[in-house]
Amino acid sequence: MFAAWGRVVYRRRWLVLLFSAVLLAISGVALAQGGKLSGQGSISSSESGRAITLIRDEIPPATSSGGSSLTIVFSGRDGLRVDDARFRDAMLAALQPLQADARVDSIRTPYDLTGTQAASLTSRDGTRALATVSLKDELRVAEEYYPELRALVQSDTLDIAFTGSMPINRDFDRILDADLQRAEYVSLPLALLLLLFVFGAVVAALLPLGVGVLAIVGGLGGVFLLSRVTDVSQYALNIVTLVGLGVAIDYSLFITSRFREELRRGVGTEEALSRSLATAGRAIAFSGLTVAIGLAGMLFYQGTFLASLGLAGAIVVAIAVLYGLTFLPAVLALLGPRVEALRLPLVGRGRGGFWHRVATAVMRHPVLVLVPTVTFVLLAGSPFLHLRLANADVSALPPSAESRRGYDILVSEFPGQNQASMTVVAHFRDGPPLAAAHVPDLYQASRSIAAIPGVLRVFGALDVDPSFDLSRYQALYAQPIDALPPTIQPFVKVTTGEHVVVFTAMTNLAASSDGAREVVRSIRALPDPAGGELLVTGQTAFDLDTIDFVIDRTPLALAFIVLTTYIVLFLLLGSVLLPVKAVLMNLLSISASFGALVWIFEDGHLATQLGFTPQSLDPTIPVILFCIVFGLSMDYEVFLLSRMQEEWRRTRDNQHAVAEGLERSGRLVTGAAAIMLGVFSAFALADVVIIKSIGLGMAIAVAIDATVVRALIVPAAMRLLGSLNWWAPGPLARLYRRVGLAEATTPVADPAD
């Protein structure tokens, strides 16, 4: 099929190029129109997600404590203090444009309050003050005009930093865009240099890079089209560029290299193209399928942004394969021998038999090679055993980001701002939550929450006055809310809905700390009120629910990826053992990468050099890395084993097949890995820790996979297995002969270089 397709492309190359141009135009239009990408959000099916939904549905945003707001930190220069008239005048003057803006509901400053309330908005050293700005619109609406509001607040006397949900989200969007641009500026020139080194010819080197750019444009356009029918994460653009550029260049590298090799054997352009697609083209189709299978593992995490990343990644991989089987061979058909044009002296010359000698040396003493290398990889992965997971927060931003600076000042210098809160929702399906039958259970729940170690105090409808006992609360809520005392009525209205009443438990524990998690678990262990349920939400609860969600679904996702990959590799190779070996090799590479991530990002090694704050890994990072790296690592396995199978079918000599297969593909695999390593390392320069860790993790995995695993462990293991590498039981062997997708045997001769 692939050989026939190569002949079709050769004879209809202009038509194929027209198809590619149309696809590029469609992608360009979609990219130009853009789309709305979303943040991480909560898992709607989790307890914390259900609680957030109930609050949103039952307590209007305009009156609830979760309405949109901004926090502005004003800092005096040269020791200027908050109680100085110059500070006051400068702060109020800076806020005046907001006061006059119709979108602003109210502004609170230390100068509007007295006593402890004013003190809470003044830093401990008296040189900084807070202004809290309440907006009339809910968060998703206010985010659209936040930049306009930020531009209104300026001062020549005070330093100003905005923080809160809106500024933090804005900085994430802005810095992610900058990270993407920086990665593209670094990775594309670096990839070109590496391609020049691999090919030694300018024209041949430009082809994979061109396909990579086309794949990125198509992938980004696909993401924006996808965003019109479903929620797509703001990280999707980075993942699409990261994966798309790597696989597109890799696939084009293998096809172009095989085409040049066939031309050197003396065959014509049409035959060279046919053979190239029958071998390398077929391999990239299977490789793309294995990458797509890995990415499809993220679809098991529906309800999180992982699912959208899986879809986005699958789109760009499909486009990379499509361009690799259409645009690239059509251009090769036009170029023919001119693909060797603009040769560079002393670059890309000769094989020299290096990889053949490596494979032969490894297979001479397979056990002596296998034991220490596997031990090394397992030791490299051992830090993963003390992995700690926590959702990424503002600390994932670089310290230089304004919202991060403001947040750090807020929690370190203002009293009470370092406290975490757990929001507890009491939900009653049968009617008003403050009905007489519910008040005793709610009273007991509030007192039980307050008694949990680590809880400082509880705010809620059953805590409006410390002197009230149960009977006083029963008498109080026996009357309608509108008849409550004026001092109590506003608070009850913003914490009570038709079926819910909200409590807030305050603690001075860090939101992602083990102590805060234990508080959430203790609240969740309390008995539900009669006829209702207690639900806990907030950052700590969201952490726990996300971790549990990921852990619960990971076994099924892993089983799907491994089993499906095994089936595809069996159809490709006809062996029952090689797919098992391939999976184990991938797991070794990934384990080393996971261990390195924990050692770097959690333990804090290289934090200064890489410019990040040590922190727990986001629970989605291991999932993203596994799903992407598993598929990408299988790239090299497919190319390597396909070439070994070609030799095995020709000679039936296992050692020769392994050595010759590694010789003929080792240099290309190393070159492809070097290009991927460059691309991924460019993303390791990102300022957002999630992208930095994904880029670095993938770079480490590819480096280990293409060197230690493919060059040492694979040939050693295949030497020990011998002819069993290619064995299958009789029924499966007959099945493979009937439905398998074996590569056509191509005459092999050493091409003159």
For 581-625, what is each residue's pLDDT tens digit? 888 888 988 999 999 999 999 999 989 888 889 999 999 999 999
Mean pLDDT of 430-451: 92
Strand 500-507 to 128-135 pairing: unpaired
On the question of pLDDT at 746 being above 60, the answer is no
Q: Going edge to edge, which strands form the sheet with 69-76? A: 104-108, 128-135, 69-76, 158-163
Confidence band, pLDDT 50/70/90 cuts, at residue 138: confident
d(CA 242, CA 3): 31
Tens of pLDDT, residue by residue over 381-395, are 999 999 999 888 899
d(CA 243, CA 499): 47
On the question of pLDDT at 79 being above 90, the answer is no
Give, in order, the Cα–Cα distances in Å from 64 to each of 107, 134, 492, 549, 604. Answer: 17, 11, 10, 28, 39
DSSP letter, residue 726: G
Q: What is the pLDDT of residue 66?
A: 43
- On whether the CB atoms of residues 234 and 39 are closer than 8 A, the answer is yes
pTM here is 0.86
On the question of pLDDT at 480 being above 60, the answer is yes
d(CA 322, CA 316): 10
Of the candidates 563, 518, 559, 564, which has an alpha carbon nearest to the alpha carbon of residue 541? 518
Of the candidates 513, 535, 511, which has an alpha carbon nearest to the alpha carbon of residue 523? 535
Q: What is the pLDDT of residue 348?
A: 54
Tens of pLDDT, residue by residue over 313-350, are 999 999 999 999 999 999 999 999 998 888 877 555 55
Domains, the chain, ranges and CATH?
Answer: 1-33+178-344 (1.20.1640.10), 65-163 (3.30.70.1430)
Confidence band, pLDDT 50/70/90 cuts, at residue 740: low
Give the least confident one: 30-44, 198-212, 722-736.
Answer: 30-44
d(CA 443, CA 332): 77
d(CA 627, CA 296): 8
- On whether the CB atoms of residues 130 and 91 are closer than 8 A, the answer is no
Mean pLDDT of 662-685: 83
The pairs formed by 38-42 with CB atoms below 8 angstroms and a separation of 24 or more are 38/231, 38/232, 38/233, 38/234, 38/305, 39/169, 39/172, 39/233, 39/234, 39/305, 40/233, 40/304, 40/305, 40/391, 40/392, 41/231, 41/305, 42/537, 42/542, 42/545
CA-atom Rg of the chain in angstroms: 31
> How many C-alpha atoms does 363 have within 13 Å on its Cβ side?
22
Total residue count of the chain as it appears in this document: 753
Mean pLDDT of 270-277: 91
- On whether the CB atoms of residues 619 and 568 are closer than 8 A, the answer is no
Give the least confident one: 308-312, 368-372, 406-410, 416-420.
Answer: 416-420
On the question of pLDDT at 753 being above 50, the answer is no
Q: What is the pLDDT of residue 62?
A: 44
- On whether the CB atoms of residues 279 and 743 are closer than 8 A, the answer is yes
